[in-house]
Structure 1
Amino acid sequence: MSVAARGALHHVELRVADLDRAVAAWGWLLGELSYEPYQRWDDGQSWIAGGTYVVIEAAPLDGVHDRRRPGLSHLAFHAGTTADVERLWRAAPAHGWAQLYADRHPYAGGPDHHAAFLEDGERCKVELVATTR
């Protein structure tokens, strides 16, 4: 791993109820965003891009995530061009992701913010932001 700038995100760890379902959905999405498989163990897996990695791990306690309650709302990723975002938006349902805000897509984040909003099977939301035309 390279040395990252002070304050840069090191990693994100998401706890899930259904590890197999989450690994399938997140593995597809992270692969599409140029993350590569990094580590694997009985209760989890991680993917890395640059100096940042994402961990998907089986939760040791029961419970339900609700992004609308206090806590984490969503993760936002730079997703490339507007064409890249649209390709991911169209492909996501076949990989375990629900499309959010379809009536306002791709400007649910505002008129100058081209993005796709998706939700996995455990209601964890991601925002895929077009950062280049």
Structure 2
Amino acid sequence: MLHHLELWVADLSASTGSLGWLFLRLGFEVEATWPSGISYRHQDFYIVLESGPDVSQGPHQRTAPGLNHVAFHAGSREQVDELAIEAQQHGFTLMFADEHPFGGGAEHYAAYLEDTSGFEVELVAQF
């Protein structure tokens, strides 16, 4: 079981407005804040967004070695669609729009979203 995920971000304010908004929308709650970060908790799991002097500048490169994206269960197909639309009002771009919502294959209903820093999030519908 995953305990926590720490994401270093170049712009904490921008990431809080996009990724932070999404975490809250998915049912996470703000657990703690400090000058260079914020943590969001959902049950026994938490996610940290942190920025500071050790963070390399520039956009996230999902195709570079390291983390490509994070995927979340996001409810029904209707809920995934609703979140995908709302997310675009919070700094996300719908990826693979020409294949949406089956960018992962005919049996995988999901929205693939990228925030302004280049971080990808996948919202997966439960069947």
TM above 0.5, yes or no, is yes
Off by >6 Å, runs of 4+ in structure 1: none
Cα distance in 1 for partners of 2:4, 2:62 equals: 19
2:112 counterpart of 1:117: yes
Which residue in the other structure is 1:78 paired with?
Answer: 73
Cα distance per residue 1:43-77 (max 9 Å; x no partner): 00011111110100004233332001111100000
Structure 2, unaligned stretches of length 5 or more?
A: none
Which residue in the other structure is 2:56 paired with?
Answer: 62
2:23 counterpart of 1:30: yes
Cα distance in 2 for partners of 1:63, 1:72 equals: 17
Cα distance per residue 1:19-46 (max 9 Å; x no partner): 1000111121011110011111010001
RMSD: 1.0
AA in 2 matched with 1:96: G
Which residue in the other structure is 2:40 paired with?
Answer: 47
Which residue in the other structure is 1:3 paired with?
Answer: none
Structure 1 residue 78, shift from structure 2 partner: 0.5
% same residue: 42
TM-score (norm 2): 0.94
Q: What SS class does the counterpart of residue 89 from structure 2 fall into?
A: helix
Structure 1, unaligned stretches of length 5 or more?
A: 1-7
Q: What SS class does the counterpart of residue 83 from structure 1 fall into?
A: helix
Which residue in the other structure is 2:87 paired with?
Answer: 92
Q: What SS class does the counterpart of residue 110 from structure 1 fall into?
A: coil
Cα distance in 2 for partners of 1:63, 1:26 equals: 18
2:13 counterpart of 1:15: no
Structure 1 residue 93, shift from structure 2 partner: 1.2
Q: What SS class does the counterpart of residue 14 from structure 2 fall into?
A: helix
TM-score (norm 1): 0.90
Q: What SS class does the counterpart of residue 67 from structure 1 fall into?
A: coil
